């Protein structure tokens, strides 16, 4: 009785399905060879088995290395983690820069306010200095007038000079009114009393 050899069908494209199909085919062929005894193995059967194994080997050779794939995925995960940390760090820096800019804006406003207040104080101080200079000038003018009157009284004959005549002849008219403090008025009054004593022949 002739041996019925396994029939060849189209090999699957998936390498695992191809390997499973070829394994089943080789197992059936081996059973047929054992049962055939001394009968020769058909040449087409041998060619079919060799071709199927060659195609399967090519498929596995073209399949990507799983180790390389795992390594690439690990590297990608590490890069993604680094990128996430960089993004988080950048966000924190941006937030800190925003807070710093807000503080700088506040300090700028406070500085501008301080500059305005300093300018106002300077204007006030300038006005006070001007008033002080005016008062000092008025006091100097009064002192000069008093000194001139004293000189006139001292140079004039005692019998002819009088306090009233000195005042009427030597008092220089002022070009503008002078505001004199109480202390300055007391000083001028004391000078007038001294002049009166000088002109008084009885003293």
Give residue 59's pLDDT: 83
In-domain check, residue 166: yes
Domain that holds residue 167: 135-199
Report the C-alpha gap between 101 and 96 in whole angstroms. Answer: 9
pLDDT, tens digit (0-9, with 9 covering 90-100), for 56-111: 888 887 877 778 788 888 999 999 999 999 999 999 999 988 998 888 899 888 99
Contact between 50 and 95 (Cβ < 8 Å): no
Give residue 175's pLDDT: 46
In-domain check, residue 72: no
Q: Is the pLDDT of residue 174 over 50?
A: no
Two tokens at 189? 């009054």
Q: Is the pLDDT of residue 177 over 70?
A: no
Count of structural domains, the chain: 2
The alpha carbon of 45 is separated from its chain's Cα centroid by a whole number of angstroms, namely: 82
DSSP state letter for 180: -
Q: How much of the chain, in percent, has pLDDT values that exceed 70? A: 74
Q: Is the pLDDT of residue 202 over 70?
A: no
Residues whose CB is less than 8 angstroms from the CB of residue 18 and which lie 6 or more positions away in sequence, other chains included: 11, 12, 52, 55, 56, 59
In-domain check, residue 116: no
Domain final position from 29, 48, 63: 63
In-domain check, residue 71: no
In-domain check, residue 120: no
In-domain check, residue 161: yes
Give residue 91's pLDDT: 92
Give residue 83's pLDDT: 92
- H-state helical runs in 37-65: 43-62
DSSP3 helix / strand / coil % (the chain, rounded to 5): 80, 0, 20
Two tokens at 11? 């090999």
Give residue 71's pLDDT: 86
Find where tokens 């180790």 sit: 67
In this prediction, residues 128-136 reach a mean pLDDT of 88
Contact between 197 and 203 (Cβ < 8 Å): yes
Report the C-alpha gap between 25 and 9 in whole angstroms. Answer: 10
Give residue 22's pLDDT: 83
In-domain check, residue 25: yes
């Amino acid at each position: 009785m002739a041996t019925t050899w396994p029939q060849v069908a189209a090999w699957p494209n998936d390498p695992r399905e191809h390997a499973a199909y070829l394994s089943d085919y080789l197992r059936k062929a081996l059973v047929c060879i054992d049962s055939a005894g001394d009968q020769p193995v058909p040449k087409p059967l041998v060619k079919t088995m060799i071709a199927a194994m060659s195609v399967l080997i090519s498929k596995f050779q073209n399949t990507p290395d799983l180790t390389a794939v795992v390594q690439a995925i690990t590297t990608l995960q590490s890069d993604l983690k680094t990128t996430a940390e960089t993004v988080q760090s950048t966000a924190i820096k941006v937030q800190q820069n925003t807070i710093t800019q807000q503080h700088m804006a506040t300090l700028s406003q406070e500085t501008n306010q301080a500059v305005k207040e300093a300018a106002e104080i300077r204007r006030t101080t300038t006005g006070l200095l001007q008033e002080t200079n005016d008062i000092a000038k008025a006091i100097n003018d009064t002192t000069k007038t008093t000194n001139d009157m004293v000189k006139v009284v001292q140079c004039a004959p005692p019998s002819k000079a009088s306090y009233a005549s000195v005042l009427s002849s030597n008092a220089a008219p002022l070009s503008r009114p002078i505001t004199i403090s109480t202390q300055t008025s007391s000083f001028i009054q004391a000078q007038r009393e001294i002049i009166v004593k000088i002109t008084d022949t009885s003293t």
